[in-house]
Chain A
């Protein structure tokens, strides 16, 4: 790190040129009025002008430097030569686009400044996501500016031109076509109808083509079970919002990457006043997930025990008179009692009651990493109690690991003439990379297409750099009647091409009809299939509107629901439970932040604390409390984990609430390429069983202590509230009994006159009952406020920089704890303790109730940090921005100072957004409207737990909420008068209804 710190970077930056640190632009960098800064990536869609621009600035700056005048030279102002109509320097533009991850496509808004994307939020017009998106979608902007990105094609690891690359591929494909040998196209899921059409076209042009759509972390069991239960590839769309009782069988639908589910769930969790209903969430799960943390009743259950339990449940329900679906003979099910299940009689009864009383309004959700029979049981239960809430619809078929394994074996026999990897990384995610590499030896032509070089590209001869999605066109069909559109928000940064464009080129080479690029191709398909024929508006207009909105409704495209095939149950029942008594169940779940490893090179995500373990930078093995005691393991102890032939050493993390006999290891770490990702954590894919039908779940796993130790970079070291009144939590019954009395700070005596706020008094309300702890706010804040990434060893020291953190507390027995989340950020106290101790007035109070932090005045005594009872102030112990490489700095928000070494920083309530709104209101001679100012965390919160606004306006949403009887201030007894009101957490556990 020292090396980094020695190289000087500008403490603050305004113009991008300055941040990019190329000497020539340094001279031009002192550009306050930003036009010059616009040039590097603008005007859109024209990479050449940018190049020429840099060259020119270099030359002229050099000249200017030689002809130095007596006064200090201040560089240049570089206006547009031809200003794009929509660009006003200093004003942000928003473009609707779509971000795809596996089968899911998020409709997003891309905030751009002077033509460069700087921030991603959800598309607020999207009916399902309602302006929310996943943390990974927001963070993926860093992949656009990733310094490791390929800057041009390579052939045999040597830079080459596109024409060379294309020629090589086309010749190979021609050869294959001539000889009739097989060609393999391996991609990720293809939810894009147009891309599907393209691939189909490719098939017809190249009969020997085999297309495999493979998602390493998708969870094969879910696919196979769905196939069995509905007679074909299908997805079950769970209507969380309509369910009064939800039973989660190891599912993590509140994992934060499904804003729709979170929003629908949270809508039930914030009753305005007592008497209003809440839904009830049951969680039977082995790992501790966010869903389990939010559950009203949670029972730790080994994944291998879930299926029998669920079947018994079905039988018991049937005994209570809930009819079984056709084709399921009751005797096929085990006796419906709780003996042999981890549930107590009371729990079993309560669960049966809840499901039995909510037929048609109950929902059973099964986790992707659960075994197939568990899924079958879930489908059965849904068929009994779920009905319309869990409709299965046909979906694009995905290849399972088994399928890939078969292909690899055939590959080893030399069956393939050519393989094309498009946006997938099997060399990393295939459990037996050695075997894959050997098999690839037998393939004459290996083509790779993607954004960041990876383990697979290293094995390929032709490496073709693809556009980042922010530079490319595309469309996605969510199967629920919404087709969303992806448009470029920035011109290509490098000599890259859109993947589809490349394939179109190949098709031309194969003699197919040429197309005028993928943009035209998309439009052509849309005009045929999406554009409602005979509509009054012209297609051009229709497409423009679609571009503006980011999506169109196409209900007609929704396939009919599939019927449940009872026979599947019989089969599932007959398969013996995989759990061999000895050894652990090992759950291999996608990494919360890095998913299947595709985001492993993004520092923001690596440093995003896992919402449950609070661990950053790596994947320790989660061990249950009981097992840890039995094996004498403590956090950081290194263990050897053996699953079949595979074995690896990994530090453990003792996880309260995890079922005994269950181990959890996150996928997506242990990458061997990428300057950020390399060597972080271990590659859990190698513990998968390629032959198994549920590779994400290994049974009979063994654990041995090695005696090694590693400090875990966790951001929270203590997990109990120690009886302090920090997070208030009530059951619905207590709440109904008016047991809730929020302590207001009015009853605190003060010697000082109350502060006066002439215009506004900004405040916030955080509803802990709605908050699920997903940490989307953390990433949004990081992106909005230019927050630095500090790296593992700094996190170990406790120096992470995120302005908002989610405190997660466990209460009660560590084996079965209750969990609460508390977003903690600067409380903007009226009597802020940090303010009166700052010797230089660098932090003080603003007339609109903000606790202002002025970086350029800060000397760095850190006294404010000591005196902050919430410990939300962050200190720049080093020049953390010195790590930045060209062009990462382009992702910076030009409205926020980049903090230098030695100054304190903290949440500002997004002052830049407040000021901008105030200025616009001023210009239009009107007051700032309620809801006009939305902080980054609020915008990102999928459960709408955060509300910001003016407390002086009695009608504003925030002042109304702050008067809620659930409201209280954290540490109010200190008399610091925080501006944030927390609403007490509410739970709705079964059995409560009686003792109420």
Chain B
């Protein structure tokens, strides 16, 4: 047999294997879950959801008012923090920093954690009205000292729940499934 033929017998399987490995590797490295889940940036003020939402049981909607009124849940204005912190824990360095910002009227730049593409028009209202717990998507925030992303929030996540929301909904909820048509989220 010609030596090159023998060489060729090697080339085919090895080449095929190489291609397969590359594809898989690239796929794994670029999967969104790897990039987004567990994103946990440092915040300008060391605010603890564990303390506020967990220990002190402040309801989410007290600060994130938008969630029931608007498409956007929003981050509370500094004023909202000051509602309590004019009087409570005024001594702690974080609160002093907060007060300084508040008095100066400067904006407070929190690091964004949850981010959706620009063409996704997620609306908090129906989800809140349906009684879905914030934790369903945002994770057990009340246990987090520093908030991190718990769910990758891709279309798959949305669809999964919209097709079978029982797990997320409170018992005896009239809602059976969520809309799956494009205009429900995209415009």
Contacts and interface: CB of A to CB of B under 8 A. Distances in A.
Q: Do chains A and B touch in the complex (CB under 8 A)?
A: yes
A77 B78 CA distance: 12
B8 to A, nearest CB: 39
A78 B109 contact: yes
B75 A846 contact: no
B119 interface: yes
A33 B66 CA distance: 10
Contact of B129 (A846, A897, A923): A923
B107 A915 contact: no
Contact of A81 (B102, B179, B183): B102
B2 interface: no
Contacts of B6: none
Interface in B89-114: 101-102, 105-114
Given A30-B115, A897-B119, A919-B126, A81 B187 contact: no
Tell me what chain B mostly uses at the interface: helix, strand, loop, or mixed. Answer: loop
Given A895-B121, A911-B187, A56 B109 contact: yes
Q: Pick the most buried of A12, A56, A90: most chain B CB atoms within 10 A of its CB.
A: A90
Interface string A64-85: 1000010111111111111100
Interface string A840-855: 0000101100101011
Contact of B182 (A71, A91, A844): A844
Given A77-B109, A81-B105, 14 more contacts: A12-B118, A13-B118, A34-B72, A57-B107, A71-B39, A72-B35, A78-B109, A80-B77, A81-B79, A83-B80, A90-B66, A90-B74, A897-B118, A919-B71
Contacts of B39: 71-72, 74
B110 A81 contact: no
Contact of B183 (A89, A852, A919): A852
A14 B181 CA distance: 22
B172 interface: no
A972 B77 CA distance: 55
B181 A73 contact: no
A33 B122 CA distance: 10
A32 B80 CA distance: 21
B168 interface: no
B77 A78 contact: no
12 contacts: A12-B117, A56-B107, A57-B109, A81-B78, A81-B106, A81-B107, A83-B77, A852-B182, A857-B182, A915-B187, A919-B125, A923-B126
5 cross-chain pairs, A with B, having the tightest CB-CB distances, nearest first: A12-B118, A90-B72, A90-B70, A83-B77, A856-B119
Nearest to B112: A74
A10 B119 CA distance: 12
A53 interface: yes
Contacts of B129: 922-923
Interface string B172-186: 000000010111101
A52 B104 CA distance: 11
B154 interface: no
Nearest to B125: A919
A82 B78 contact: yes
A35 interface: yes
Given A81-B102, A854-B182, A922-B125, A32 B115 contact: yes
Nearest to B103: A81
Contacts of B111: 64, 74-77
A79 B118 contact: no
Contacts of A10: 118
A908 interface: yes
Contacts of B115: 30, 32, 74
A83 B71 CA distance: 17
Contacts of B35: 71-72
A811 B117 CA distance: 50
